[in-house]
Amino acid sequence: MSSRDVILQRIRSELSKAEPPGPPPVPEVWPRATSDLAALALRFTNELEAVQGEVIRCTDMEDARGKLVQLMDASQWVAIGAVDTLLSQQIITGIPPERVSWIDETWPPARIADLPAGLVAADRLLADTGSCLVACPTAHERLMCYLPAASLVVAKTGQLAEHLPAAWDEVAELAADAERTGEHVIITGPSRTADIEKILILGVHGPKRLVVLLVEEDGQW
């Protein structure tokens, strides 16, 4: 046996004793710089207002309910539409029933489009872009994000995430659920376009106004 063969045999013998290498660590492309809710709420507000969105901060659901009624009165909305979710029920409770219509699959798109404002609940809020991530399991819930003249979103501070990768594990788990249907819609400000002579116009392809009612959760603000 040559010296070369001896060396190669020793290398093979040592390699056979070693544990097989595992997969390399997944690099963190978008690092998480902070989880401080006050900082995330401030950034979310600044980013959303930069694209003509509005944020109304609320200390609790009772405060949010009062501010929603004030918003409806100031905007002269006799009644609004709402998607039936837990957060929507919490903020609507106590408001006269004639002022809120709960939409369902029987509503045609034209009826949804006639609403002056539609209320949906966010699943997550993305601070880096001022975006609302809204689950829309049905077609009529998805249309509520697009057709009413104003889009109202209710969310709690505990739903804030720094960016989409920070919320991805939770979103991916929901998306992988075989029992769930529909999709998520990402809402970032009112509809906007500058296709004609670079003049910014709001509300051409969707709601002209977006208002987020951001509710403090468990003293976290």
Please state, in angstroms and rounded to a whole number, the distance separating the CA atoms of residues 182 and 131. 19
Tens of pLDDT, residue by residue over 106-154, are 999 999 999 999 999 999 999 999 999 999 999 999 999 999 999 999 9
Q: What is the pLDDT of residues 163-181, one digit of tens each?
A: 999 998 888 888 888 888 8
Minimum mean pLDDT range among 23-32, 38-47, 182-191: 23-32
Q: Residue 201: its pLDDT value, please?
A: 65
CA distances from 62 to 140, 187, 221 (A): 28, 25, 16
- What integer pLDDT is reported at residue 5 of this predicted model? 82
pLDDT at 101: 96
Q: Name the 3-class secondary structure at 212.
A: strand
User: What pLDDT sits at residue 84?
Assistant: 95
Superfamily of domain 35-215: NagB/RpiA/CoA transferase-like (3.40.50.10420)
pLDDT above 80 (res 73): yes
pLDDT of 37 above 80: yes
pLDDT reading at 194 higher than 70: no
The neighbour count for residue 74, using CB atoms within 10 Å, is: 8
Integer Cα distance of 128 and 185 in angstroms: 17
Answer yes or no: is pLDDT of 202 > 90. no
- 126-156 burial, b at 16+ Cβ within 10 Å, e below that, comes to bbbbbbbbbbbeeebbbbbbbbbbbbbbbbb
Report percent pLDDT > 70 for the chain: 87
Yes or no: say if 37 and 158 are a contact pair by the CB < 8 Å rule: yes
Q: What is the mean pLDDT of residues 183-205?
A: 74
- Determine the pLDDT at residue 192: 67
Tell me what the pLDDT averaged over the chain comes to: 88
pTM of the model: 0.82
pLDDT at 38 over 60: yes
Q: What pLDDT was estimated at residue 133?
A: 96
In this predicted model, which residue has the larger pLDDT, 195 or 152?
Answer: 152
* Whole-angstrom distance, CA of residue 65 vs CA of residue 23: 51
